[in-house]
Amino acid sequence: MARTLTFQNQIRSTTSGIEFIDDLDLNQAPIIIEDDAALDDPAQVSGTIIYDLNFIRTALRDIKGDTPSFNWYDPIPTTSGLISLEDARTELSNLQTYVGSTGDGDDSPLYSSTVFVSPSADLTEAVGQLDAALATISGAVPLEIQKRILIRTGDGVHSRNDPLDIETPGSEWEISGDSITIPGSGTFMESVSVFHNGSLLLNGANASADRDVYFVASDHEIAFEFSLNKRAVLQIWRFPAG
């Protein structure tokens, strides 16, 4: 064991590197592991090196994901599960080309046009921004203002704060114009205008906003802070997304 310690100290003090014997015979390795007395034989390699080799081979097996027995002293270890550095470099270059990267260290995409896409948007953000722009251009979100008209023809009143479905308001209403959906309070606040007998009302995101008209529920329900009498005329306009 003293020889092993001496060898370790020699390694620590070496500044010019260590020379390796390429034709070192490892056939005695299992014997050395099983019989520590073999370490006294100066013809054998250091026990420290043996156990280090065993550790390295075990780590290599774990990296590859191999499950079969993989002894450190196998003369021809399998490497079928490993990728070469050349292949890894090629794969990385292909990925960089696909996402438009200028090379290693490039952390910000540069787009040829920034009409719809933010210059610093990542790939998923860019796809979302392009999708929204394409929907507007293709007509999925019409460029024209959508207009719906409701005229109350029934007797009595539509009570304040009572939700009104502008798509199917009921027999008390005469309806005409475009079908309009309001997917959420944000769209209602930003893209919808409601007129009562020609007067533009003040929108609210919900009942607690204390505004003239407010959003109730997707896709068609709104409510008013006042009662709607017979012959009341409502005009609901939805503007295209800007």
C-alpha closest to that of 181 among 155, 207, 153, 142: 142
What b/e string do you get for 119-157 counting C-beta neighbours within 10 Å, with b at 16 or more? eebeeeebeebeeeeeebeeeeeeeeebebbbebeeeee
In the chain, how many H helices and how many E strands?
6, 9
| C-beta atoms surrounding 13 within 10 Å | 7
Task: Report the distance separating Cα 68 and Cα 36, nearest Å.
Answer: 27
Angle, helices 2-13/47-64, rounded to nearest 10 degrees: 70
Task: Report the distance separating Cα 190 and Cα 183, nearest Å.
Answer: 12
Question: What H or E segment, with its residue span, contains residue 234?
Answer: strand 233-238
Could you give phi then psi for residue 235, rounded to 5 degrees? Answer: -125, 120
pTM of the model: 0.44
Could you give phi then psi for residue 89, rounded to 5 degrees? Answer: -65, -40
pLDDT at 51: 56
- Tens-digit pLDDT string for the chain (242 aa): 455 555 555 555 554 444 444 444 445 555 544 555 555 555 554 555 655 566 566 666 655 555 545 454 555 555 566 667 777 888 888 887 777 777 777 776 667 777 777 777 777 888 888 887 776 655 555 567 899 999 999 998 999 999 999 999 999 999 999 999 898 999 999 999 999 999 999 999 999 999 999 999 988 999 999 999 999 999 999 998 65
pLDDT at 102: 75
Task: Report the distance separating Cα 177 and Cα 150, nearest Å.
Answer: 9
pLDDT at 191: 92
